[in-house]
Structure 1
C-alpha cells in the first residue's frame, strides 16, 4: 500500500459509501458533503504521505466500529477519524491543531451543531497522544483505534514502521533513530498502551513486542 499505492476502486467505493451513510446518520445533506469528501480524499493522497493515508483511515474506521459497536457517539468518533490527520506535514509541530481548525471550519458549513463540532475538535486534539491524564470514553476509543497499528501482526507493523521512516525522509538517519526510539519508549513506559478493555486484551502484548523489536532494530543502527 505504501510507496503511495492507492486503495483499490472497490475499497474506495466502500469508503465512499461509509461516508454517505455517516452523513445520513448525522442528518447532513449529501450535496454539500460530497465536495468535503473529495477534499479529504485529496488530502490523504498527498505524495509525502506513506502511512497517514486513506488506508490508515479505513483501518481506523474498521477498528472503531468494533470497539465502539453500539456506542451512541460512534458517528461523532467516525467524523473525528476522517479529520484527525487531514493536515499532515512531517516537518510541522501543529498538525493536530491545524486539523482541528480545518474540521471546525468545514463542519460549520455543513451546519453540524456547535456542540458536536466542539467534541470533534477535542477528539482530534487528543490524538497528539501527550502523556495521558484522565480522558473521556470517546477519546479512549479514538486513541485506541489510532494506536491499533502498534498491535498489528509483525509483517503489518514492519510495513508501518517503514512507512513512517519514509515520511521523515528529510531527517538524517542518526537523528531519526534517536527521536523514534524516544517515541517508542514513551509508549512502552505507560502502564498500558491501550485504554479500552478489548484492545488491552487483543493488542497490548503484541504492541509491546513490536515496540521492543523496533527499538532493538534501531539500537543496532547506532552501533559503531
Structure 2
C-alpha cells in the first residue's frame, strides 16, 4: 500500500501525502497502541486502519474515508484478513471522518493518531502544508487570517481522546494553541497596519 500511495497520490496533497500516512499516522498509531497495552489482534486492526485510512485520496478529495474503506475491503482479503477483521478496520477508518466521534477505545486511538501533529513541534509547518492543499482543492481564496481563526478554533476545541495520547501530546497541544494565538495576533496586526496605511 505504501508503494501505491507513493505512485498514485496527487502532488497537490501537500498535507495528506505519503508522509502523513507513513511517517506520521502509522507510527503514532503503533506508539499509542503499545502504550495502551493492546493485544495482538487490536494492534493489527489499529495499524492496518492507520495504513489505509487516507488511501481514498487516491480517487477523491471529498468523502475520502468511503474510498479508503473500499480500497481496504478490496485489498485485505489478499493478505488473509477475515471478514470480521476487515469490518473492524472499516469501522476504525470511518471514525476518522471529521468531526471525529469515536465510539470505542480503538477508534479513539486511531483518531488521536490521525491528529497527533496537534501536539508536536512540526504542527505549524504541517498546518501551512494543509492550508496549501485546501487552497488548491477548494478552488477559492482562503485568506491567512480566516484560516488562522478557523484553525485556532479547531485546536482550542480539540482534546485527545485516549489516555495515552493525552499523556504524550497534551502539553505539546497546549503549546501549539499558544503559537496559533500568537500567529493570529500577528496576522491581524499586520492586516490592521496595512489598512491604516491605505
**TM-score, normalised to structure 2's length?**
0.77
- TM-superposed deviation, 1:106: 2.2
State the partner residue of 1:182: 150
Where structure 2 has 5 or more consecutive residues not aligned to the other structure, the ranges are: 193-198
- The match for 1:141 among 105, 109, 116 is 109
Q: 1:220 to 1:186 in 2, by over 3 A?
A: same
Alpha-carbon RMSD across the aligned residues, in angstroms, is 2.5
Aligned length: 181
The 2-side partners of 1:184 and 1:59 are apart by 21
Kindly report which structure 2 residues correspond to 1:20-35, keeping only aligned pairs within 5 A, or say none.
none
The 1-side partners of 2:2 and 2:100 are apart by 32
- TM-superposed deviation, 1:172: 0.5
- TM-superposed deviation, 1:220: 4.5
- Retained in 2: the 8 A contact 1:43–1:87? no
- The match for 2:166 among 200, 206, 212 is 200
State the partner residue of 2:16: 52
The 1-side partners of 2:98 and 2:12 are apart by 22
Q: 1:11-39 CA distances to partner (integer Å, 9 max, x unpaired)?
A: xxxxxxxxxxxxxxxxxxxxxxxxx5532
Kindly report which structure 2 residues correspond to 1:1-224, keeping only aligned pairs within 5 A, or say none.
36-44=1-9, 46-57=10-21, 58-69=23-34, 70-72=37-39, 73-88=42-57, 92-132=61-101, 135-153=103-121, 156-170=122-136, 171-174=140-143, 177-178=145-146, 181-190=149-158, 193-218=159-184, 220-221=186-187, 223-224=191-192
- Retained in 2: the 8 A contact 1:149–1:157? yes
3-state SS of the aligned residue for 2:70? helix
The 2-side partners of 1:215 and 1:149 are apart by 17
- TM-superposed deviation, 1:196: 1.6
Where structure 1 has 5 or more consecutive residues not aligned to the other structure, the ranges are: 1-35
- TM-superposed deviation, 1:107: 2.1
The 2-side partners of 1:187 and 1:214 are apart by 9
Q: 1:185 to 1:67 in 2, by over 3 A?
A: same
Q: 1:109 to 1:77 in 2, by over 3 A?
A: same
**TM-score, normalised to structure 1's length?**
0.69
- Retained in 2: the 8 A contact 1:152–1:207? yes
- TM-superposed deviation, 1:109: 4.3
Q: 1:96 to 1:215 in 2, by over 3 A?
A: farther
